[in-house]
Amino acid sequence: MEKIISGIQQMGIGVPNVPEIWRWYRKFFGVNVRLFEDAAEAPLMTKYTGGEVQSRTATLALSMDGGGGFEIWQYTSRGTEKADFDIKMGDLGLYMCRIKSHDIAASFTYFKKNGANLKSELMSRPDGGQHFIVEDPNGNLFDIVEGKGWFSDTKHPSRCGAVAGTMIGVSDIEASKKLYCDVLGYSEVVYDETSRFSSFDNIPGGKSTFRRLLLAHPEDRKGPFAQLLGPTEIELIQATDRSDVRKIFENRFWGDWGFIHLCFDVQGMDQLKKDCEKAGFPFTVDSGSTFDMGEAGGRFSYIEAPDGTWIEFVETHKVPVMKKWGWYINLKKRNPEKHLPKFMLKAMGLSKVRD
């Protein structure tokens, strides 16, 4: 089977308290659909958890407006550790999560009115699109941008959808392009600029000079969940006047405080494995067959991007639609290129959590 990248399935976020922060994410981003909630050990991740099996709870939350979801992840066998240094813009790893908006001005007004910790005014990006930056109660940064490729409009008061991409701190943009452009299909350059950017003035380290490369995928994504996940962008950012950049997860475990991984929904995992190996990014974790997540199942794998950033791939085999009636979608029996019917995707919205 050929490799199919359907989109960003979710951003993994390590947190100290899942119910508390998820309530905030529901209020401001509308990620109010619980696809699954699972408490278990993570035996396949010992390479990144100190050589010991750790226990955790994980909740996958979606927005029916569209975009990738959040995998909100919390250790139950140990504390969730923060970095022991002040993370600055340009440090290496998943630095900022990008969220799409139906109406960027209305979103900004909502965030301001509801007391969110805004880190910028409504500003212009290098390509002319408007955006603003907000910090969640755990100190994670989110870049709210003008959205594209909506699945529906739930009329959430924040006017936000879910994940539309990410900003990744890298030490060498050219080396990183080999993965994001060549393997993952983000081959379209939206902008490539080196300067100081006033949007970042209120962010630690934000007054440095950066090279910013914004990448998009030129063709619509294929695959069962592509319509829901929508188009996404990857922005690589490199500090050009700092020699003290550090890895955001230096001396910490996968699953600790912050953005822990960027996860892509894929089909054709075997071919993807070959492509990653050929490009110099071998799988470091591979479940090898269907891995049971309680209410969902599939094969998952990890690679390390340049600078050690964790990229996850999930080939979904089973997904719940209406659990109480035993309605699950078996994706192994479907054409991997085709979109799932919209009514099936919309049915997942029946798992909405209401505040």
pLDDT tens-digit readout, 46-105: 999 999 999 999 999 999 999 999 999 999 999 999 999 999 999 999 999 999 999 999
Pairing of strands 160-169, 233-239: parallel
pLDDT value at position 332? 77
**What is the percentage of the chain residues whose pLDDT exceeds 70?**
95
CA distance 340 to 343: 8
Closest CA to 312 of 133, 138, 58: 58
- pLDDT the model gives residue 127: 96
CA angle 158, 159, 160 (to 5 degrees): 90
CA–CA distance, 202 with 132 (Å, rounded to integer): 12
Confidence (pLDDT) at 331: 77
Residue 177 to residue 197: CA distance in whole angstroms: 22
Nearest one of 32, 41, 44, 103 to 76, comparing CA atoms: 41
Q: Strand 33-41 and strand 123-124: pairing?
A: unpaired
* CA–CA dist 49, 256 (Å, integer): 9
**What span, in angstroms and rounded, lies between the C-alpha atoms of 49 and 51?**
6
Question: Structural domain boundaries of the chain?
Answer: 4-351
- Reported confidence tier of residue 327, pLDDT bands at 50, 70, 90: low
Query: What does the alpha-carbon distance between residue 110 and residue 113 come to, in Å, rounded to a whole number?
Result: 5
Residue 293 confidence (pLDDT): 52
Q: Is the pLDDT of residue 269 over 60?
A: yes
In this structure, whether the domain defined by 4-351 belongs to CATH 3.40.50.2300 is answered with: no
Better-predicted residue by pLDDT, 354 or 191: 191
